[in-house]
Structure 1
Amino acid sequence: MPGRPMHVYAVANILPAIGIRPLATRSRAWLQMVRDAPPADLTDALGVSATTAMRYAERVGTDRLAYPSTGKR
C-alpha cells in the first residue's frame, strides 16, 4: 500500500519473486563503491569493518594508489 513502510521480511520475499537477487545486488553495489572511494572512507561512512571493505577492494583489484589524494596524511 502506498505511503506505508514494508517490513524487511516482506521485502525479502518479494524481491526474489520478481527476479532480484538481494545478495548479488548488494555485492555489486559494494564492488562499485570500492572502485569510487577508498575502503577506509567506506568503513567510516557505512560502519563496516576494514576487513570487509578491503576484501571487496581486493576483489576488484584496486589499491590505495588508485584513488585521488585528499591532501591528508
Structure 2
Amino acid sequence: MTEVAFLTVAEVASVMRVSKMTVYRLVHSGHLPAIRVGRAFRVPEEAVHEYLRESYLGVEVGGERPSDGA
C-alpha cells in the first residue's frame, strides 16, 4: 500500500503562493480534494501538484475552461 502525503491548508497556500482563503475556496468549490480532520482540512500533496499542472496547461478543471477571448 502506498503512503499518501497530506498537506495543511497553510502548506498548500505556501506551495501555490496564494492565501489560505484561496485554498479554502478551492476546497469548498470542489476544485481541490480534501479530507476533514476534526475542524481542519488536509489536502493530498499529489492533488495540489495535479491541480497546478492542469491549471498551467489550460486543461479543463472542474468543468471550466479558461476563456481565450475569442
Q: Please tell me the TM-score bracket, short chain as reference.
A: 0.3 to 0.5
Q: TM-score, normalised by structure 2?
A: 0.32
Q: TM-score, normalised by structure 1?
A: 0.31
